């Protein structure tokens, strides 16, 4: 398969002003009639090129007509890329194309497919071509009118984008519904749903006084789980008006939940389609984390209505234009509605664990990639999460007001257009009179920049100097890098923990943003009364790896006193990382493990202070994950990392057993479940305390765990107890897992949690356990959530997955090869753990590489081919 390059972009030769689609939906075949009102694109400047429409191997062409002339076979053909090529066309014409597709046999879940008895679509990025022949590229925007014809008994709910404009009955008694979307859009935003669905309804009155009808649809048995999402939708609509001045632009906004879905959700114009795992919530089946995630995803998809739909991408290289910006918008929304610091810590933790690993591996790419083989592989943490960090840096550099001026200009200047990341940055520049030329390197350079910091204090002159040096390591295809713009938000802390005042460029303050632009540079702070401890990169103001040689005492001071909540947390993590890295080295060299931890006294103080925010305390008490420690490691030794981490946790647990027990008892109160701030914080700390208390080996803790599992009236508490039992390998774990399944076997989303925990459990069965789970009646190869559930469990299972024989790696490779035939997108995602082979310790690196080679030898989809070949290159 060949790569496609950003530098080869050309405007389309043809435009489609209007698109009229008729779907005759049937259980065996679906007939699609498409009428495209087309004309040559005047700005393409090419007047004789043939018309080439994208298609797929699964689309059967019945006939083509131009205006009223049915084309004979010699006037068109299908080429090797499944495109429909029409050699001669007038300058302006009506193209009619009739095709037949079989949604029930569509296992790739792109285009039109069936999911638990309903028809639904997923067209981003290039799914529409699996429905009918089309100019399937985001810079071709068209006004869609869609007619659905189906058996009204079986499919009473017939939905598409825009407003319902007509409803009738066909001669054969089928229901006919027509939808019209007045906003021009690319085909990737097209959607259709047909099913027997129930819905809830609400209204939102926009700031200019228009009433918008809101509807959320699900299968009947899930209708009791959609109220929370409706509330989240209304909060999102209000926030986008308040913070970005963006109003909704149709009379109706609909969301539909479907079970079989490749990703989280999709922002189709006026008709968002969600993976049911990202929409459905009920206290007894949904954890606090999931509640917050659902709210964030509802917001994310809604925000796309402006950042993505009204202003869309010129080509898929610009994906971060809509995704980075929209992630930034949803993160800011959650920060505003909940605890800003807690949200920031969670987002940064995720970025540093998963995106940094991607940026250091064989698939590293800039947030605007320069080439790809399969665009589906570029819906990545880099494009999304790092993309959001890049937008956040612009926000930091311009300030909230300047950023708003820039976004207003961007939306007004480009409304109805398909544009580039350059256009976004240009709007920010023009609205603020600034030059972001160097800043734009963030769009073209891959890799995580490193910033080294040293300092000097001159007591006589009362000056304090910080010396910064930056470098970005080489990534595939980018051997050398240029310095980037790095905003470092910072302050200085005195020995007593107070924020010191300082003078910088004539201004006296306690906090500032230093903007780094050079390979090396120094900043001198004046009127600094004592030798400070620097608090650097507050709020994680840039996606970099910053290092400064802190002593443990200095980190403890920051942990206790920094005015920046993020840095308080980060300092605690740094102490833990330092201790864990020392322990890992001891495990590897066979030494006996150190018994001292500076965290004991720090944690003891945190537990004693009931005034602190429980959510923050819970985060600080949570040790860096195996995944994060792997990212930091020079060479990854998963077993040593796990042993070290378990050791440190056990040691802290034993030293503070009583504090954990009393914290647990204090917070273990009976209250009617609400997914609100205060309760979520209490449950978080209570459950962290429980896991330490259990890790201390105290018999009573186990009893408390079992009681909590049995008596919990909410999934957060029940699941936390179960997960701790599995994680701590308690004897009772099997019994609890069995009873959990027994209790929840009818709730598919809860069963997914059971699958993950079951697959993650250390057991004598070995891989047979995973095979057994994949044979289990609750497992379903068609359902991506089930696949993700089992494979997440397997790949987190250090003992099983990283077995020195390589059996775990081979097992995963075998499963990917099989799955690739059904669903390449999901198969490709499952490759990620194997792409890390170069960073593994030698004993694991070789077997991991052979698993990839074994995969490479087979007949692969473009998706898996790209990941495997780049990983082995
Ligand atoms: N835009 C979609 C992602 C589509 C992925 C297609 N492979 C969801 C989102 O980011 O909102
Ligand atoms: Zn998105």
Q: What is the CA(323)–ligand 2 centre distance, in A? A: 5
Per the CB < 8 A criterion, the answer to whether 308 and 424 are in contact is no
**Residue at 853 is within a domain:** no
**Token output for 600:** 């004991």
Residue 650 CA to residue 694 CA, distance in Å, equals: 9
Residue 412 in 3-state DSSP?
A: helix
Phi, psi of 713 (to 5 degrees): -105, 10
Residue 276 CA to residue 298 CA, distance in Å, equals: 12
Is the domain of 429 the same as that of 468?
no
Task: State the pLDDT at residue 47.
Answer: 84
Q: What is the residue range of 458's domain? A: 450-545
Kindly identify the ligand whose nearest atom is closest to the C-alpha of 863: 1
Per the CB < 8 A criterion, the answer to whether 66 and 89 are in contact is yes
CATH number of domain containing 368: 1.10.390.10
379 close to ligand 1 (CB < 6 Angstrom):
yes
Is the domain of 362 the same as that of 454?
no
Instruction: Tell me, letter by letter, the H, E, C secondary structure of 244-313.
Output: HCCCCCCCEEEEEEECCCCCCEECCCCEEEEEHHHCCCCCCCCCHHHHHHHHHHHHHHHHCCCECCCEEE
**Token output for 72:** 């004979």
**Residue at 421 is within a domain:** yes
Nearest ligand 1 atom, CA 825: 7
Placement of tokens 């007939």 in the chain: 31
If we measure between CA atoms, which residue out of 165, 168, 169, 194 comes closest to residue 271? 194
Convert the pLDDT of each residue in 334-376 to its tens digit: 999 999 999 999 999 999 999 999 999 999 999 999 999 999 9
Q: What is the CA(687)–ligand 1 centre distance, in A? A: 33
b/e for 412-435, b at 16 or more Cβ within 10 A?
A: eebeeebbbbebbbbbbbebbeee
Per the CB < 8 A criterion, the answer to whether 367 and 383 are in contact is yes
Residue to substitute in 293, 378, 379, 825 for testing ligand 1 pocket (most ligand atoms within 8 angstroms of CB): 379
Task: State the pLDDT at residue 846.
Answer: 98
Per the CB < 8 A criterion, the answer to whether 607 and 659 are in contact is yes
Convert the pLDDT of each residue in 280-334 to its tens digit: 999 999 999 999 999 999 999 999 999 999 999 999 999 999 999 999 999 999 9
Give, as residue ranges, everything with CB less than 5 Å from ion ligand 2.
323, 326
Convert the pLDDT of each residue in 67-113 to its tens digit: 999 999 999 999 999 999 999 999 999 999 999 999 999 999 999 99
Nearest ligand 1 atom, CA 125: 6
If we measure between CA atoms, which residue out of 603, 604, 584 comes closest to residue 594? 584
Is the domain of 424 the same as that of 469?
no
Residue 592 CA to residue 651 CA, distance in Å, equals: 14
Residue to substitute in 266, 278, 308, 320 for testing ligand 1 pocket (most ligand atoms within 8 angstroms of CB): 266
Residue 797 CA to residue 30 CA, distance in Å, equals: 43
Residue 716 in 3-state DSSP?
A: helix
Residue 683 in 3-state DSSP?
A: helix
**Residue at 577 is within a domain:** no
Tally of CB atoms within 10 A around 552: 15
Share of the chain residues as helix, strand and coil, in percent rounded to the nearest 5: 45, 20, 30
Instruction: Tell me, letter by letter, the H, E, C secondary structure of 159-181.
Output: EECCEEEEEEECCCCCEEEEEEE
Convert the pLDDT of each residue in 24-75 to its tens digit: 999 999 999 999 999 999 999 888 899 999 999 999 999 999 999 999 999 9
Task: State the pLDDT at residue 280.
Answer: 98
Task: State the pLDDT at residue 258.
Answer: 98
Is the domain of 383 the same as that of 459?
no
Please say if the pLDDT value at position 730 is more than 90.
yes
Kindly identify the ligand whose nearest atom is closest to the C-alpha of 378: 1
Q: Whose CA is nearest to atom 6 of ligand 1?
A: 124
Nearest ligand 1 atom, CA 124: 6
The residues with which 528 forms a beta bridge, in sequence order, are none
Q: What is the CA(45)–ligand 1 centre distance, in A? A: 33
If we measure between CA atoms, which residue out of 182, 185, 128 comes closest to residue 310? 185
Give the H/E segment covering residue 502.
strand 502-504
Please say if the pLDDT value at position 764 is more than 90.
no
Q: What is the DSSP letter of 474?
A: -
Residues 6+ apart with CB under 8 A from 583: 593, 594, 644, 647, 648
Residue 678 CA to residue 626 CA, distance in Å, equals: 29
Q: What is the DSSP letter of 153?
A: T
CATH number of domain containing 482: 2.60.40.1840
Phi, psi of 3 (to 5 degrees): -85, 155
Domain ends where: 480, 515, 545? 545
Convert the pLDDT of each residue in 159-175 to its tens digit: 999 999 999 999 999 99
Strands (E), 568-688: none
Q: What is the CA(749)–ligand 1 centre distance, in A? A: 21
Residue 1 CA to residue 612 CA, distance in Å, equals: 56
Residue to substitute in 138, 323, 372 for testing ligand 1 pocket (most ligand atoms within 8 angstroms of CB): 323
13 close to ligand 1 (CB < 6 Angstrom):
no
Residue 201 in 3-state DSSP?
A: strand
Placement of tokens 């930056």 in the chain: 470
316 close to ligand 1 (CB < 6 Angstrom):
no
For the chain, what is the domain count?
Answer: 2
Q: Whose CA is nearest to atom 4 of ligand 1?
A: 124
Instruction: Tell me, letter by letter, the H, E, C secondary structure of 50-97.
Output: CEEEECCCCCEEEEEEECCEECCHHHEEECCCCCEEECCCCCEEEEEE
376 close to ligand 1 (CB < 6 Angstrom):
yes
Sheet of 192-195: strands edge to edge? 111-115, 118-122, 192-195, 157-160
The residues with which 36 forms a beta bridge, in sequence order, are 19, 95
292 close to ligand 1 (CB < 6 Angstrom):
no
**Residue at 365 is within a domain:** yes
b/e for 752-778, b at 16 or more Cβ within 10 A?
A: bbbbbbbbbbebeeebebbeebbebee
Convert the pLDDT of each residue in 635-660 to its tens digit: 999 999 999 999 999 999 999 999 99
Q: What is the CA(549)–ligand 1 centre distance, in A? A: 41
Convert the pLDDT of each residue in 545-558 to its tens digit: 999 999 999 999 99
Nearest ligand 1 atom, CA 304: 11
378 close to ligand 1 (CB < 6 Angstrom):
no
Q: Whose CA is nearest to atom 2 of ligand 1?
A: 266
State the burial class of residue 308 (Cβ atoms within 10 Å of its Cβ: 0-12, 13-18, 19+). Answer: buried
Is the domain of 436 the same as that of 470?
no
Q: What is the CA(124)–ligand 1 centre distance, in A? A: 6
Placement of tokens 């014809």 in the chain: 149
**Residue at 472 is within a domain:** yes
Convert the pLDDT of each residue in 744-756 to its tens digit: 999 999 999 999 9
Convert the pLDDT of each residue in 118-156 to its tens digit: 999 999 999 999 999 999 999 999 999 999 999 999 999
Task: State the pLDDT at residue 48.
Answer: 87
Residue 804 CA to residue 529 CA, distance in Å, equals: 56
**Residue at 817 is within a domain:** no
Residue 731 in 3-state DSSP?
A: coil
**Residue at 355 is within a domain:** yes
Residue 385 in 3-state DSSP?
A: helix
Q: How far is CA 611 from CA 558, 559, 608, 682, in A?
A: 18, 16, 9, 12
Sheet of 69-70: strands edge to edge? 69-70, 60-66, 92-101, 30-40, 14-24, 142-150, 175-185, 163-169
Instruction: List the catalytic residue out of 124, 219, 301, 374.
Output: 301
**Residue at 491 is within a domain:** yes
Helical H segments across 245-318, by residue range: 288-303
Q: What is the CA(333)–ligand 2 centre distance, in A? A: 14
Please say if the pLDDT value at position 512 is more than 90.
yes
Task: State the pLDDT at residue 325.
Answer: 99
Give CA 824 to chain center in angstroms. Answer: 19
- Whole-angstrom Cα Rg for the chain: 28
Q: How far is CA 129 from CA 121, 263, 866, in A?
A: 12, 19, 21
Is the domain of 470 the same as that of 384?
no
Domain ends where: 507, 530, 545? 545
Is the domain of 483 the same as that of 520?
yes
Residue 276 CA to residue 783 CA, distance in Å, equals: 11
Domain ends where: 529, 545, 561? 545
Residue to substitute in 265, 299, 320, 827 for testing ligand 1 pocket (most ligand atoms within 8 angstroms of CB): 265
Q: What angle do CA 703, 709, 714 make, to 5 degrees?
A: 145
Is the domain of 468 the same as that of 536?
yes
Residue 102 CA to residue 59 CA, distance in Å, equals: 8
Confidence tier at 594 by pLDDT (50, 70, 90): confident
The residues with which 99 forms a beta bridge, in sequence order, are 32, 61
Nearest ligand 1 atom, CA 265: 8
Is the domain of 540 the same as that of 471?
yes
- Please state, for a pLDDT cut of 90, what percent of the chain lies above it: 99
124 close to ligand 1 (CB < 6 Angstrom):
yes
Per the CB < 8 A criterion, the answer to whether 499 and 491 are in contact is yes
Q: What integer best gives the mean pLDDT of the chain?
A: 98
Is the domain of 383 the same as that of 461?
no
Q: What is the DSSP letter of 776?
A: S
Residues 6+ apart with CB under 8 A from 34: 19, 20, 21, 22, 95, 96, 97, 98, 99, 132, 133, 134
Convert the pLDDT of each residue in 228-252 to its tens digit: 999 999 999 999 999 999 999 999 9
Helices (H) and strands (E) in the chain, counts: 28, 33
Task: State the pLDDT at residue 743.
Answer: 98
Is the domain of 434 the same as that of 347?
yes
If we measure between CA atoms, which residue out of 107, 149, 206 comes closest to residue 783? 107
323 close to ligand 1 (CB < 6 Angstrom):
yes
Q: Whose CA is nearest to atom 9 of ligand 1?
A: 266
Task: Tell me, yes or no, if 301 is annotated catalytic.
Answer: yes
Phi-psi region of 845 (alpha: psi -120 to 50; beta: other; left: phi over 0): alpha
The residues with which 514 forms a beta bridge, in sequence order, are 488
Confidence tier at 460 by pLDDT (50, 70, 90): very high
Is the domain of 482 the same as that of 404?
no
267 close to ligand 1 (CB < 6 Angstrom):
yes
Convert the pLDDT of each residue in 494-511 to its tens digit: 999 999 999 999 999 999
Task: State the pLDDT at residue 763.
Answer: 83
Kindly identify the ligand whose nearest atom is closest to the C-alpha of 268: 1
Q: What is the DSSP letter of 375?
A: G
If we measure between CA atoms, which residue out of 784, 783, 761, 758 comes closest to residue 773? 758
**Token output for 345:** 């810590």
**Token output for 721:** 């107890």
Tally of CB atoms within 10 A around 85: 15
**Token output for 754:** 């059971």
């Amino acid at each position: 398969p060949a790569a496609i390059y950003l530098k080869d972009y050309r405007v389309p030769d043809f435009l489609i002003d209007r698109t009229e689609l008729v779907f005759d939906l049937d259980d065996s075949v679906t007939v699609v009639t498409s009428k495209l009102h087309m004309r040559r694109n005047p700005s393409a400047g090419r007047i004789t090129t043939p018309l080439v429409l994208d298609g797929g191997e699964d689309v059967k062409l019945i006939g083509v007509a131009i205006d009223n002339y049915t084309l004979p076979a010699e006037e068109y053909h299908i080429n090797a890329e499944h495109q429909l090529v029409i050699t001669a066309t007038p300058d302006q014409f009506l193209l009619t194309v009739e095709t037949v597709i079989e949604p029930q046999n569509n296992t790739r879940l792109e285009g039109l497919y069936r999911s638990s008895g309903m028809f639904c679509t997923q067209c981003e990025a290039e799914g529409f071509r699996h429905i009918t022949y089309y100019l399937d590229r985001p810079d071709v925007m068209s006004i869609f009118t869609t007619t659905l014809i189906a058996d009204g008994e079986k499919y009473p709910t017939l939905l598409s984008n825009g407003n319902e404009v007509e409803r009738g009955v066909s001669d054969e008694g089928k229901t006919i519904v027509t939808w019209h979307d007045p906003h021009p859009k690319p085909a990737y935003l097209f959607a259709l749903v047909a099913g027997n669905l129930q819905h809830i309804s609400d209204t939102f009155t926009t700031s200019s006084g228009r009433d918008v009808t809101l509807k959320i649809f699900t299968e009947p048995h899930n209708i009791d789980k959609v109220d929370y999402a409706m509330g989240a939708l209304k909060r999102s609509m209000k926030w986008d008006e308040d913070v970005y001045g963006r109003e909704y632009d149709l009379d109706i906004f609909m969301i539909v939940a479907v079970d079989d879905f490749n990703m989280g959700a999709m922002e189709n114009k006026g008709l968002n389609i969600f993976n049911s795992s990202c929409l459905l919530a009920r206290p007894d089946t949904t954890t606090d984390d999931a509640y917050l995630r659902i709210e964030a995803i509802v917001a994310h998809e809604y925000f796309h209505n402006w950042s993505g739909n009204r202003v869309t991408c010129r080509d898929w290289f610009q994906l971060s234009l809509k995704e980075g910006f929209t992630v930034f918008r949803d993160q800011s929304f959650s920060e505003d509605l909940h605890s800003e610091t807690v949200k920031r810590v969670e987002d940064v933790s995720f970025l540093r664990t998963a995106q940094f690993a991607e940026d250091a591996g064989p698939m590293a790419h800039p947030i605007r990639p320069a080439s790809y083989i399969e665009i589906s592989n570029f819906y990545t943490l880099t494009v999304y999460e790092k993309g959001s960090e890049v937008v956040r840096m612009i926000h930091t550099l311009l300030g909230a007001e300047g950023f708003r001026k820039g976004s207003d200009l961007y939306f007004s200047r480009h409304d109805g257009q398909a544009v580039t990341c350059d256009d976004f940055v240009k709007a920010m520049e023009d609205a603020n009179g600034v030059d972001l030329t160097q800043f734009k390197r963030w769009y073209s350079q891959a890799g995580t920049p490193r910033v080294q910091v040293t300092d000097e204090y001159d007591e006589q002159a009362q000056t304090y100097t910080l010396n910064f040096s930056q470098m970005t390591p080489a990534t595939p295809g980018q051997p050398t890098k240029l310095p980037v713009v790095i905003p470092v938000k910072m302050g200085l802390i005195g020995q007593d923990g107070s924020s010191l005042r300082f003078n910088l460029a004539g201004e006296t303050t306690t906090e500032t943003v230093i903007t780094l632009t050079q390979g090396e540079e120094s900043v001198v702070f004046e009127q600094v009364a004592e030798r400070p401890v620097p608090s650097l990169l507050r709020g994680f103001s840039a996606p970099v790896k910053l290092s400064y040689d802190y002593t443990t005492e200095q980190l403890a001071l920051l942990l206790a006193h920094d005015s920046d909540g993020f840095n308080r947390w980060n300092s605690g993590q740094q102490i833990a990382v330092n201790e864990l890295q020392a322990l890992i080295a001891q495990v590897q060299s066979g030494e006996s493990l150190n018994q001292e931890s500076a965290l004991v006294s720090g944690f003891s103080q945190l537990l004693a202070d009931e005034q602190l925010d429980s959510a923050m305390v819970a985060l600080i008490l949570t040790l860096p994950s195996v995944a994060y420690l792997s990212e930091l490691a020079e060479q990854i030794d998963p077993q040593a990392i796990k042993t070290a981490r378990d050791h440190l946790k056990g040691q802290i647990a034993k030293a503070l057993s009583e504090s954990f027990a009393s914290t647990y008892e204090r917070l273990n109160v009976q209250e009617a479940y609400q997914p609100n701030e205060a309760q979520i914080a209490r449950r978080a700390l209570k459950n962290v305390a429980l896991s330490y208390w259990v890790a201390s080996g105290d018999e009573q803790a186990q009893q408390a765990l079992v009681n909590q599992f049995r008596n919990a009236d909410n999934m957060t508490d029940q699941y936390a107890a179960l997960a701790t039992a599995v994680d701590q390998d308690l004897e009772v774990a099997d019994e609890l897992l069995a009873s959990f399944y027994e209790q929840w076997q009818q709730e598919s989303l809860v069963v997914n949690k059971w699958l993950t925990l079951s697959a993650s459990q250390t057991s004598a069965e070995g891989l047979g356990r995973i095979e057994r789970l994949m044979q289990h009646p609750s497992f379903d190869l068609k359902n991506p959530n089930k696949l993700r559930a089992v494979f997440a469990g397997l790949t987190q299972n250090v003992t099983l997955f990283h077995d020195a024989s390589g059996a775990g790696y081979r097992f995963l490779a075998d499963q990917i090869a099989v799955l690739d035939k059904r669903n390449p997108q999901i198969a490709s995602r499952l490759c990620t753990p194997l792409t890390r082979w170069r960073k593994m310790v030698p004993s694991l690196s070789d077997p991991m590489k052979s698993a990839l080679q074994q995969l490479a030898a087979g007949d692969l989809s473009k998706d898996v081919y790209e990941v495997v070949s780049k990983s082995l290159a």
